[in-house]
Amino acid sequence: MRIQRIAPPVQTATHQEVDLNLIKEIVAKYKEKKGALIALLQEVQSVYTYLPKSAMEYLEATLHYPVSELYAVATFYAQFKLAPAGKHSVKVCKGTACHVQNANEVMSEISAFLGVKDGETTPDGKFTLESVSCLGCCSLAPAIMIGEDTYGKLNGNLAVQVVKKIE
Ligand code: FES
């Protein structure tokens, strides 16, 4: 089963094309808001889909957070990514409803097909595989989400067929 969702606009960037102008407004907003480091990093990540090295250095230069502190926070919380995400995000639900419906098989089959582990991106940059705790459609367990589309009532083989159809 497939559920279509409306995708919010997302700006993507690679290591080569980090435009720091995109976060100038965010930096200005956080100039007077010391102690809001997590919110700051969340906003920066929402621009690039990850936390580019040059953006971290820019935050250090403009907001005077030591870069070591920025990386300490960014590596502590799983929500932050230090490398660009793949073109397609493949989220495999590992929540309770999906777990009891064999989400582990779904994850291991997709992982074997893509040749990457949970949290990794394929070498061609096409897919990033990650486990999530609940996609909010437990009645369709086990479920996965690719981009903004959700697929449910899967098994390992069906899940791989879904991934194979993604351009
Ligand atoms: S537990 Fe998987 S969608 Fe809720």
Give the whole-angstrom CA distance, residue 93 versus residue 113. Answer: 17
Give the whole-angstrom CA distance, residue 85 versus residue 62. Answer: 26
- How far, in Å, from the CA of 139 to the mean position of ligand 1? 8
The per-residue pLDDT for 10 is 42
The per-residue pLDDT for 17 is 76
Q: Is 115 exposed, middle or buried, given 0-12, 13-18 or 19+ CB atoms closer than 10 A?
A: exposed
Residues with beta carbon inside 6 Å of ligand 1? 93, 95-98, 134-135, 137-138, 141, 143
Residue type (1 letter), 112? A
Per residue in 71-93, pLDDT (tens digit) is: 999 999 988 989 888 999 999 99
Give the whole-angstrom CA distance, residue 50 versus residue 65. Answer: 18
Structure tokens given for 119: 């949290």
Task: Spell out where 71-114 has E strands.
Answer: 88-93
Helix locations, 14-102, DSSP H: 24-30, 37-48, 53-63, 67-76, 96-100
Q: What is the mean pLDDT of residues 102-128?
A: 95
The per-residue pLDDT for 13 is 41
Going from N- to C-terminal start, the domains of the chain cover: 15-76, 85-164
- How far, in Å, from the CA of 98 to the mean position of ligand 1? 5
Q: What is the mean pLDDT of residues 55-74?
A: 95
The per-residue pLDDT for 160 is 98
Structure tokens given for 139: 């009645």
The per-residue pLDDT for 149 is 95
The per-residue pLDDT for 141 is 97
Percent of the chain with pLDDT over 90: 78
**Largest separation between any pair of C-alpha atoms in the chain:** 52
Question: Side by side, which strands form the sheet with 88-93?
Answer: 2-3, 149-151, 144-146, 88-93, 127-132
Q: How confident is the model at residue 2 (pLDDT cuts 50, 70, 90)?
A: low
Fold of 85-164: Glutaredoxin (3.40.30)
Is the predicted pLDDT of residue 9 greater than 50, yes or no? no
Choice from 91, 138, 153 to test ligand 1 binding pocket (greatest atom count within 8 A of CB):
138
